[in-house]
Structures are given as C-alpha cells and as structure tokens.
Amino acid sequence: MIKKIAGPTVIQAAGNVPRLIEEFVGRVNSGVSIARMISPAGWIEPGQTPEFDEYTVVLNGTLHIETRTESLDINSGQAIIVKAGEWVRYGSPEKDGAEYIAVCLPAFSPEIVHRDGE
C-alpha cells in the first residue's frame, strides 16, 4: 500500500531561538521519524541522551555536534550517525544556519529524548 503525505506536521522545537521542524513521517504513522530541520545561526539545543538512533544529513550550512568526547562540524553534503544512549548536543554556529534531514529510529517522541534538565 502506498500512502502519499501531502505535507509535513510542524513540531515544537527546543533550543534558545526558534527552529523549524517539519516532520513528514512520525510516531503516529510508523516506527520511524523523518523530518526536515531548519536551524538559524546561533541556535543551540539542550543536550540529550535519546533512546533512538539518529541519522542526520546536512543539506545546507553547518550543524555543530557535541558529544562527551568530541565536537564536530557537519557541513553541507556530510552526515552523522548518533547511536541511542549517547549524550549529544546539536547547534548551528553563529556564522551559519543549517538545513538538514533527521531520521530517528525508533521514532522521536518527547518521552524518549531525555533532554538535560527534564
């Protein structure tokens, strides 16, 4: 069976400045989340230790990733995999914003993201 998705659902984002999350496939429809993220320059999200693997492909700009052991800049045309249970913090450097696709497996939900301070 084929299911056409006419458009994304806009999701409330965490972080210090507004960020757009357009979820095309999510927890309600399947066991995986596929979302397009648009992060402005200077955006930073609270650290998190999610119960899902996250696969991220940067389409434009730069996405800054921090883990307990390293910091990385993921540029346009690059990707990163963050495994479930690893602490991570995402952000966009002051000079760039970022547009990227994030795939979460199992699907993202606020109950399993475990953001710092929650």
Tell me how many degrees the CA angle 46-49-54 measures, rounded to the nearest 5: 95
- Domain extents in the chain: 9-113
Q: How far is CA 10 from the centre of its chain?
A: 13
pLDDT at residue 28 in the model: 66
Average pLDDT over residues 14-23: 88
Lowest pLDDT segment from 2-16, 27-41, 50-64, 85-99? 2-16
The token duo for 18 is: 């507004």
Average pLDDT over residues 84-109: 95
pLDDT higher than 90, residue 100:
yes
Write down the residue that tokens 């965490």 correspond to: 14
Q: Considering the domain 9-113 in this protein, what is its CATH number? A: 2.60.120.10
